[in-house]
Structure 1
Amino acid sequence: MYILINIRPVSDLRNKFPEVEETVITTNSPVFLTKNGYGTMVLMSIEQYSALTDPIEYALDEADSAAKESKIRYSGADVFRRVRERIDGAEI
């Protein structure tokens, strides 16, 4: 599958907003905006943003619920040590 990345100058937001909006909505993919030749921001639909953030929000809600039900607490150093151990032990 070939995915075309849409890159446009940020001035298109002012000058061609309906066209940019239509591109975001119909292609269901983000539009990357540049200013003076450098990337400056990404424009995406609310649905795209939700698809990106909803799983994270759900996981954080689950973590909050689990923390309320448990008396166990870990320091930041402990958390990062455990994450590093998992990463180091993961098979590639």
Structure 2
Amino acid sequence: MPQIRPITDLRNTIEISELCHSSGEPIFITKNGYGDMVLMSNETYERELAAAEVFRKLLVAQRQIDNGEGLDGEDVLKNMRDKYGYV
């Protein structure tokens, strides 16, 4: 469940920091009742960045497949076995 906090809660930096780290989720900060910022721990940020990168690569791969640009996995493995002598 997302945490939503008013901007005035940022005065208590220790509590907000602990909440960021313990929840493992972004914390949404509101100003005058409207969304203003999103806070998260470095760990959460890195995890979200990595997930976005995976999705980006999957999208590129799907576009290549749709355009007939992909390589057949069986052929790639066979070529690697032949080249490097793996069974």
1:6 to partner: Cα distance = 1.3
TM-score (norm 2): 0.56
1:23 to partner: Cα distance = 0.7
Q: Does 1:33 align with 2:29?
A: yes
Q: Which 4+ residue blocks in structure 1 deviate beyond 3 angstroms?
A: 55-60
Asked which structure has the greater CA Rg, the reply is 2
Query: Structure 2 CA distance, aligned partners of 1:12 and 1:47?
Result: 22
Q: What's the counterpart of residue 54 of structure 1?
A: 50
Q: What's the counterpart of residue 6 of structure 1?
A: 3
Which SS does the other structure have where 1:7 is aligned?
Answer: strand
RMSD over aligned Cα atoms: 2.3
TM-score (norm 1): 0.53
Query: Structure 2 CA distance, aligned partners of 1:56 and 1:30?
Result: 15
1:55 to partner: Cα distance = 3.5
Structure 1 unaligned residues grouped into runs of 5+: 64-78, 83-92
**Identical aligned residues as a percent:** 39
Paired letter, 1:7: I
Tell me the matched-pair count.
60
Q: What's the counterpart of residue 23 of structure 1?
A: 19
